[in-house]
Amino acid sequence: MQSELFSIPKKQDTKHFLADNTCILPGFICDNATEIRDLLEDILLLSPPRYMNTPGGQRMSVALSSCGTLGWISDAKGYRYSSYDPDTHQPRPNMPPLFSSLAIKAAAEAGFRDFRPDACLINCYIPGSKMSLHQDKDEQDLTQPIVSVSLGLPAEFLWGGFIRGDAKQTLLLQHGDVLVWGGDDRLRFHGIKPLKPGWHPITGDCRINLTFRKAGG
Ligand code: MD6
Ligand code: FE
């Protein structure tokens, strides 16, 4: 039943602002999901997702890869962007034109008209994977927004304030949804609750999240 429901995804031409500079575009990339998944398969062969350690030595719960000019890494030296894959020592796989054009279109829809992403982080979640509350602040130009694309299993997204302990809203991010934020909302704390088990026709038993950023100068 559930798979039938998911296999006829509908693009919804709506947007909903959670705050002045945080916008959810439900199902925005549904029509492109299969093509995105196929492109991701090629990228993840070149740069396989891996569990990195936090600077404190904790293994992260989400497996991560990147494409584009820059990719995000974490190790004992800290969080940062680098142009080389730390495991393969190769440049990052190219960001497919479909990825950048959808990210630019979504940003414009949310009111950010000059978004030029140079990094696409690929987060792979299996049941139980979570992302602790964090701020995205490793990018050089914090005036540029972040565009987040959800594929596969739904996830509960925690959307907080500017101090870790601020009240949080829980938002269900579903397959095809795009979340865009920037401006005054750029440094909000956020995270993902442990992924619930399930199955999705596009991604199987996992969730994939892409976040597009302008990481370099
Ligand atoms: C995720 N997303 O959805 C994790 N960061 O799996 C993020 O950490 C995130 O969705 C900045 C802006 C939007 C996001
Ligand atoms: Fe984030």
Q: Where are the alpha helices (DSSP H) in 56-214?
A: 97-109
Cα–Cα nearest to 68, from 86, 43, 49: 43
Given this model, what pLDDT does residue 4 score? 41
Given this model, what pLDDT does residue 139 score? 95
Nearest CA to ligand 1 atom 1: 209
pLDDT tens digits along 152-207? 999 999 999 999 999 999 999 999 999 999 999 999 999 999 999 999 999 999 99
What is residue 2's DSSP assignment?
A: H
pLDDT tens digits along 85-127? 999 999 999 999 999 999 999 999 999 999 999 999 999 999 9
Indicate the SS3 state at residue 43: helix
- CB half-sphere exposure, 86, CA atoms < 13 A: 18
Residue whose token pair is 């730390």: 86
Cα separation, 126 vs 4, in Å, equals: 22
Given this model, what pLDDT does residue 150 score? 98
* Rounded alpha-carbon distances, angstroms, from residue 18 to 50, 56, 82, 99: 32, 33, 32, 24
Given this model, what pLDDT does residue 12 score? 66
Which token pair is 174? Answer: 């579903």
What spacing in Å lies between the alpha carbon of 211 and ligand 1's midpoint? 6
Cα separation, 84 vs 68, in Å, equals: 10
pLDDT tens digits along 47-57? 999 999 999 99
Ligand 1 mutation pick, 149, 211, 212, max ligand atoms within 8 A of CB: 211
Question: Is 146 near ligand 1, meaning CB less than 6 Å away?
Answer: yes
* Rounded alpha-carbon distances, angstroms, from residue 57 to 118, 126, 136, 144: 28, 21, 19, 30
Cα–Cα nearest to 121, from 112, 109, 134: 134
User: Do the beta carbons of residue 134 and residue 189 sit within 8 Å?
Assistant: yes
What spacing in Å lies between the alpha carbon of 159 and ligand 1's midpoint? 10
* Strands 169-173 and 63-68, sheet pairing: unpaired
Say which CATH topology domain 2-213 has: Jelly Rolls (2.60.120)
Question: Is 181 near ligand 1, meaning CB less than 6 Å away?
Answer: yes
Cα separation, 146 vs 118, in Å, equals: 11
User: Do the beta carbons of residue 92 and residue 142 sit within 8 Å?
Assistant: no
Question: Is 211 near ligand 1, meaning CB less than 6 Å away?
Answer: yes
214: left (phi over 0), alpha (psi -120 to 50) or beta: beta
pLDDT at 3 over 50: no
Which residues, other chains included, contact 8 with Cβ-Cβ below 8 Å and sequence gap of 6+?
A: none
Cα separation, 12 vs 26, in Å, equals: 6
Nearest CA to ligand 1 atom 12: 146
Ligand 1 mutation pick, 21, 138, 186, 190, max ligand atoms within 8 A of CB: 190
